[in-house]
C-alpha cells in the first residue's frame, strides 16, 4: 500500500472564505471568523459522513462510480430531505422553500411550452434493458466471438510487435495460468530478439482461405459475410500479416492488370480490417498505406478509363486514407503530414496525369477543410487552367474531357464550403473569376447555392465527417437529424421488394456492444440481382431516383419530423460504391447520403447467434 500522507488521512476542510461566500449567498452579510471556522469544520465532517454513507449505496448497486442517487439515498437515510435536482447552469444552484415543517432545496425549473417540446428535437428515451445470451466459454475454452474480449489485447499485440520474445510460448487458450513464463524470462538474459513464429492452425488456414476467396470472389452475399467477419471478429491478429500480404500483392498485380473490380474488393478488405477494433494495425501500416495510395493516385486503374467508374475507387480509397490518418496519426509517425506532403507534391507537378490529379485532390480534401484551404485553394487557378484546356480546347480527347469534368466537379464540391466561410457576402461572379480563373464561375454558383441553403451537404466538408462517412453520413439537421444523436440505435435497412424502398426501422431489441453513436446498417440483400459484373451501369443508376422511406415504431412522430418528400440518389452498382453524393433536388433542405449497402457493417451475424439453450450440452460435444 502506498504511503498515506497527511493529506489522505485528514482530507481537506472547507476554507473559511468559502463559508463566508456561502453565507452571503443565503443572505447573511457578516459571518465572524470564529463562526466560519466552526462551521467549516462541522460541515466538512458532515459532508464526509454523507459521502461515506453514499459509498455504501454505490457498493451495493455494484458500481464503482458514485452517482447522485447514492447521495440522495444517504441523505434520506439520515432523515434529511434530499436535494431535488442535480445539474444546474446557474451560479446559484439551489432554491430554498419551507413550509409544513419541511425544508426543501430544489432547482428552479422553467416552464416548458408544450409546443416547443413537441417541435424541438428531444433527447431519446434510454433504451430498454435487454438480455443477450452468449457463450463465455465452452468446455473451458473461450470462443472468440464479438461478445467476448479479444484473446490477445491490443496492448499485448503491440508488445509482440516490438519484441517478439514476449509472444507467449504456446497458443494458450485464454485464462490458463501461465507458469512457464517466468522461466523463459530468466533464460533470455541476453537481448537477442527471437524470431516469433506465427503458426496458423488448420482452422485458421481454412478461415484464411475462405475469407480471401469470398472477398474477391463473385458471390456478393458471401463477400458481405466475409467482410463482416473481418470487421468484427476478435482474434484475427494471427492472420493479420497474411491478410495484409494478400491485399498488398493483390493491389500490386491488379493495378498492372487494370482490374478495377478486384481493386475495389481489396480496398473493402482494408476498410474491414480498419474497422476491426481488436487489431493492432500499426505494424502493417507501412505496407497498407502504399497500396491505398496506389488506388488513389494511380494513373490508370481500369481497362477503359472513359467508361469505367474508377473515380469511385479513388474516392473510397481517399476516405480510407483519411481514416488511417485519423486513427493512427501520432507525433512520432506523422502519417498525416507525410500523406499530405505526398499528395501536395503530386499537385505541384504539371505533367501529372489528370486521373492522378483527381486522386490527389480527393485525398487531400478528405483530410479536412483546413488541408483543403491551405493546399488546394492556392492552386485553383492553375488547375482551372489545365482543366479548361481539356474542356474547352480544340484537341479534345474524350478521356481527358471526362477527367477534367470530374476534377471540376470535385473542386467545386470541396471548395464551396471552404469559400463560404472564407469570403464574406455579397458574392460577385466577376470577383470569383478574377480570383480563381476558369473555375470561378462554378465556385460562385456553388457558394451562392450553399449560402441560400442552410444545411450543406456534409460529405467532403469537414475532415472528420468525411472520415466517419464509412457506414453512413447523415446530413446534419436534415430530417433524420432527430435520430442521429441516438446512441447506438440500429437501423435495419431492408429491401422488401424490388421497388427499392428502404425501410429504416430503429429496433430497440438488438444492441451492439459497441455503442458509440454510430448507425449500423443491417443490410439484407435485395432480391433484385445486383449482378456480379457491374462496372458499366453507372450512368443508368445515377439517373435512377429512389424514394427513401423511413418507418419507425412510431410512424406519426417520425413523419412529423420528416420532410414529406425526400428524394435521394442511390448508387446501386458495384463500381459506384465510393461516391456518396446525395443530390438535392429542387433545393429541398434535407440532403441525405446513404452509403452503398456493401459498406454497411453487417450485423446479421450477431443477430443470428442463437441463444444457447440451458443445459443443452449436446451440441457442444
- Which part of the chain contacts other proteins (CB under 8 A), choosing from 280-288, 316-324, 448-456, 510-518? 510-518
Burial class (CB in 10 A: 0-12, 13-18, 19+), 339: buried
User: Which member of 90, 199, 203, 615 binds other proteins (CB under 8 A)?
Assistant: 615
In 564-614, the DSSP E strands lie at 567-569, 593-594
Q: Which is nearer to other proteins, 136 or 303 (CB)?
A: 136
User: Which member of 127, 391, 441, 551 binds other proteins (CB under 8 A)?
Assistant: 127
Q: Which is nearer to other proteins, 21 or 61 (CB)?
A: 61
Q: For residue 609, give every residue at least 6 positions away whose Cβ sits within 8 Å of its Cβ, in sequence order, or none.
A: 134, 145, 147
Angstrom distance (rounded) from CA 550 to CA 562: 8
Answer yes or no whether residue 277 interacts with other proteins by CB under 8 A: yes
What would the x/- binding string for other proteins be over residues 59 to 98, using CB under 8 A? Answer: xxxxxxx-x-x---x---x---------------------
CA 219 from chain centre, in angstroms, equals 27
- Which part of the chain contacts other proteins (CB under 8 A), choosing from 174-182, 258-266, 428-436, 567-575? 174-182
Q: Which is nearer to other proteins, 59 or 539 (CB)?
A: 59
Answer yes or no whether residue 139 interacts with other proteins by CB under 8 A: yes
Kindly state the cell numbers that stand for 376.
488546394
Q: Smallest gap, in angstroms, from Cβ of residue 129 to other proteins?
A: 5
Q: In sequence order, what DSSP letters do the residues of 230-247 get, joined into one string?
A: HHH-S--TTTHHHHHHHH
Q: Smallest gap, in angstroms, from Cβ of residue 617 to other proteins?
A: 7
User: Which member of 144, 148, 204, 507 binds other proteins (CB under 8 A)?
Assistant: 148
Q: Which is nearer to other proteins, 182 or 191 (CB)?
A: 182
Distances in Å between the alpha carbon of 353 and those of 132, 308, 319, 327, 346?
A: 54, 17, 21, 30, 9
Q: Smallest gap, in angstroms, from Cβ of residue 6 to other proteins?
A: 5
What would the x/- binding string for other proteins be over residues 24 to 63, using CB under 8 A? Answer: -----------------xx--x--xx--x---xx-xxxxx
In the 8-state DSSP scheme, what is residue 159?
H
User: Which member of 513, 533, 539, 544 binds other proteins (CB under 8 A)?
Assistant: 513
- Which part of the chain contacts other proteins (CB under 8 A), choosing from 29-37, 101-109, 508-516, 572-580? 508-516
Site for other proteins in 556-595 (CB under 8 A): none
Q: Smallest gap, in angstroms, from Cβ of residue 611 to other proteins?
A: 9
Per-residue burial over 426-443, b if 16 or more Cβ lie within 10 Å, else e, is: ebeeeebbebbbbbbbbb
Q: Smallest gap, in angstroms, from Cβ of residue 306 to other proteins?
A: 46
User: Which member of 91, 99, 140, 426 binds other proteins (CB under 8 A)?
Assistant: 140
* 3 state DSSP class of 491: strand
Q: Which is nearer to other proteins, 67 or 184 (CB)?
A: 67
Angstrom distance (rounded) from CA 158 to CA 391: 51
Could you tell me whether strands 102-107 and 94-99 are parallel, antiparallel, or unpaired per DSSP bridges?
antiparallel
Look at the block and give the residue holding cell 500480404: 245
Q: Smallest gap, in angstroms, from Cβ of residue 137 to other proteins?
A: 5
Q: For residue 610, give every residue at least 6 positions away whose Cβ sits within 8 Å of its Cβ, in sequence order, or none.
A: none
Site size toward other proteins (CB under 8 A) is 67
Q: Which is nearer to other proteins, 141 or 221 (CB)?
A: 141
User: Which member of 138, 206, 422, 585 binds other proteins (CB under 8 A)?
Assistant: 138
User: Which member of 33, 132, 163, 397 binds other proteins (CB under 8 A)?
Assistant: 132
Q: Which is nearer to other proteins, 132 or 341 (CB)?
A: 132
User: Which member of 14, 84, 135, 208 binds other proteins (CB under 8 A)?
Assistant: 135
Q: Smallest gap, in angstroms, from Cβ of residue 472 to other proteins?
A: 20
Site for other proteins in 451-490 (CB under 8 A): 487-488
Q: For residue 587, give every residue at least 6 positions away whose Cβ sits within 8 Å of its Cβ, in sequence order, or none.
A: 452, 453
Peptide bond into 426 cis (omega under 30): yes
Q: In sequence order, what DSSP letters do the residues of 157-204 get, joined into one string?
A: HHHHHH-GGGS-SS-PPTTPPP-THHHHHHHTTS--PPPPP-PPPHHH
Answer yes or no whether residue 1 interacts with other proteins by CB under 8 A: yes
Of 414, 420, 427, 425, residue with least CA distance to 379:
414
- Establish how many alpha carbons lie within 13 A of residue 327's alpha carbon, considering only the half-sphere containing its beta carbon: 20
Answer yes or no whether residue 149 interacts with other proteins by CB under 8 A: yes
Q: Which is nearer to other proteins, 127 or 503 (CB)?
A: 127
Q: Which is nearer to other proteins, 66 or 184 (CB)?
A: 66
* 3 state DSSP class of 524: coil
User: Which member of 171, 176, 338, 341 binds other proteins (CB under 8 A)?
Assistant: 176
Q: Smallest gap, in angstroms, from Cβ of residue 425 to other proteins?
A: 44
What is the Rg, in whole angstroms, of the alpha carbon atoms belonging to the chain? 30
Distances in Å between the alpha carbon of 460 and those of 371, 411, 472, 483?
A: 12, 11, 13, 22
Of 324, 367, 320, 327, residue with least CA distance to 343:
367
Q: Smallest gap, in angstroms, from Cβ of residue 304 to other proteins?
A: 45
Pair 590, 479: CB distance under 8 Å: yes
Kindly state the cell numbers that stand for 471.
457506414
CA 180 from chain centre, in angstroms, equals 41
Of 478, 471, 439, residue with least CA distance to 456:
478
Q: Which is nearer to other proteins, 281 or 411 (CB)?
A: 281
Answer yes or no whether residue 182 interacts with other proteins by CB under 8 A: no
Angstrom distance (rounded) from CA 460 to CA 366: 6
Of 204, 147, 194, 207, residue with least CA distance to 171:
204
Q: Smallest gap, in angstroms, from Cβ of residue 56 to other proteins?
A: 6
User: Which member of 91, 177, 426, 454 binds other proteins (CB under 8 A)?
Assistant: 177
Pair 579, 312: CB distance under 8 Å: yes
Q: Which is nearer to other proteins, 65 or 110 (CB)?
A: 65
Residues that bind other proteins (CB under 8 A): 1, 3-6, 8-11, 41-42, 45, 48-49, 52, 56-57, 59-65, 67, 69, 73, 77, 126-142, 147-149, 154, 174-177, 277, 487-488, 511, 513-516, 612-615, 617, 620
Amino acid at each position: 500500500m502506498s504511503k498515506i500522507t497527511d493529506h489522505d488521512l485528514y482530507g481537506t476542510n472547507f476554507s473559511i472564505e468559502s463559508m463566508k461566500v456561502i453565507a452571503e449567498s443565503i443572505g447573511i452579510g457578516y459571518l465572524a471568523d470564529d463562526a466560519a471556522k466552526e462551521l467549516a469544520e462541522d460541515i466538512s465532517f458532515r459532508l464526509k459522513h454523507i459521502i461515506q454513507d453514499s459509498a455504501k449505496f454505490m457498493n451495493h448497486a455494484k458500481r464503482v462510480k458514485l452517482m447522485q442517487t447514492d447521495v440522495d439515498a444517504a441523505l434520506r437515510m439520515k432523515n434529511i430531505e434530499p436535494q431535488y435536482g442535480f445539474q444546474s447552469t446557474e451560479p446559484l444552484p439551489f432554491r430554498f422553500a419551507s413550509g409544513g415543517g419541511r425544508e426543501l432545496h430544489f432547482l428552479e425549473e422553467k416552464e416548458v411550452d408544450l409546443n416547443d417540446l413537441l417541435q424541438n428535437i428531444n433527447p431519446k428515451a434510454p433504451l430498454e434493458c435487454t438480455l443477450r445470451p452468449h457463450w463465455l466459454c465452452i468446455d473451458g475454452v473461450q470462443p472468440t466471438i464479438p461478445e467476448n474480449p479479444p484473446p490477445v489485447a491490443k496492448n499485448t499485440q503491440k508488445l509482440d510487435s516490438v519484441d517478439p520474445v514476449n509472444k507467449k510460448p504456446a497458443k494458450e487458450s485464454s485464462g490458463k495460468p501461465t507458469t512457464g513464463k517466468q522461466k523463459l524470462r530468466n533464460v533470455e538474459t541476453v537481448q537477442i530478439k527471437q524470431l516469433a513464429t506465427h503458426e496458423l492452425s488448420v482452422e485458421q488456414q481454412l478461415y484464411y482461405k475462405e475469407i480471401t476467396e469470398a472477398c474477391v470472389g463473385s458471390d456478393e452475399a458471401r463477400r458481405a459475410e466475409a467482410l463482416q467477419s473481418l470487421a468484427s471478429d476478435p482474434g484475427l491478429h494471427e492472420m493479420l500479416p497474411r491478410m495484409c500480404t494478400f491485399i498488398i500483392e493483390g493491389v500490386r498485380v491488379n493495378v498492372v492488370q487494370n482490374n478495377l473490380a478486384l481493386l475495389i474488393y481489396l480496398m473493402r478488405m482494408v476498410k474491414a480490417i480498419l474497422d476491426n477494433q481488436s487489431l493492432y494495425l500499426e505494424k502493417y501500416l507501412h505496407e497498407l498505406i502504399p497500396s491505398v495510395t496506389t488506388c488513389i493516385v494511380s494513373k490508370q486503374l481500369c481497362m477503359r478509363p472513359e467508361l469505367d467508374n474508377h473515380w469511385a475507387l479513388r474516392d473510397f480509397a481517399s476516405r480510407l486514407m483519411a481514416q488511417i490518418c485519423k486513427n493512427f496519426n501520432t507525433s512520432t509517425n506523422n502519417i498525416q503530414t507525410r500523406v499530405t506532403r505526398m499528395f501536395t507534391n503530386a499537385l505541384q507537378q504539371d505533367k501529372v496525369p489528370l486521373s492522378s490529379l483527381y486522386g490527389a485532390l480527393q485525398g487531400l480534401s478528405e483530410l479536412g477543410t483546413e488541408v483543403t484551404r491551405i493546399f488546394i485553394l492556392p492552386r485553383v487557378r492553375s488547375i482551372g487552367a489545365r482543366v479548361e484546356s481539356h474542356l474547352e480546347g480544340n484537341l479534345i480527347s474524350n478521356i481527358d474531357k471526362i477527367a477534367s469534368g470530374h476534377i471540376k466537379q470535385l473542386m467545386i464540391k470541396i471548395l464551396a464550403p471552404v469559400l463560404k466561410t472564407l469570403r464574406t457576402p455579397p458574392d460577385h461572379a466577376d470577383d470569383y473569376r478574377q480570383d480563381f480563373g476558369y473555375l470561378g464561375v462554378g465556385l460562385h454558383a456553388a457558394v451562392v447555392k450553399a449560402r441560400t441553403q442552410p444545411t450543406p451537404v456534409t460529405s467532403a466538408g469537414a475532415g472528420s465527417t468525411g472520415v466517419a462517412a464509412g457506414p453512413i453520413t447523415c446530413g446534419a439537421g436534415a430530417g433524420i437529424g432527430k435520430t442521429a444523436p441516438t446512441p447506438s440505435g440500429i437501423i435495419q435497412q431492408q429491401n422488401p421488394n424490388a421497388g427499392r424502398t428502404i425501410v429504416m426501422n430503429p429496433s430497440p431489441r438488438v444492441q451492439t456492444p459497441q455503442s458509440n453513436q454510430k448507425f449500423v446498417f443491417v443490410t439484407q440483400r435485395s432480391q433484385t440481382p445486383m449482378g456480379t459484373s457491374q462496372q458499366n451501369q453507372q450512368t443508368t443508376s445515377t439517373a435512377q431516383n429512389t424514394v427513401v422511406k423511413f418507418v419507425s415504431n412510431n410512424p406519426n412522430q417520425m413523419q412529423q419530423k420528416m420532410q414529406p418528400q425526400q428524394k435521394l440518389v442511390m448508387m446501386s452498382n458495384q463500381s459506384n460504391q465510393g461516391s456518396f453524393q446525395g443530390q438535392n433536388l429542387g433545393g429541398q433542405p434535407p440532403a441525405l447520403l446513404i452509403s452503398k449497402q456493401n459498406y454497411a457493417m453487417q450485423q446479421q451475424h450477431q443477430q443470428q447467434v442463437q441463444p444457447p439453450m440451458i443445459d443443452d450440452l449436446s451440441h457442444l460435444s
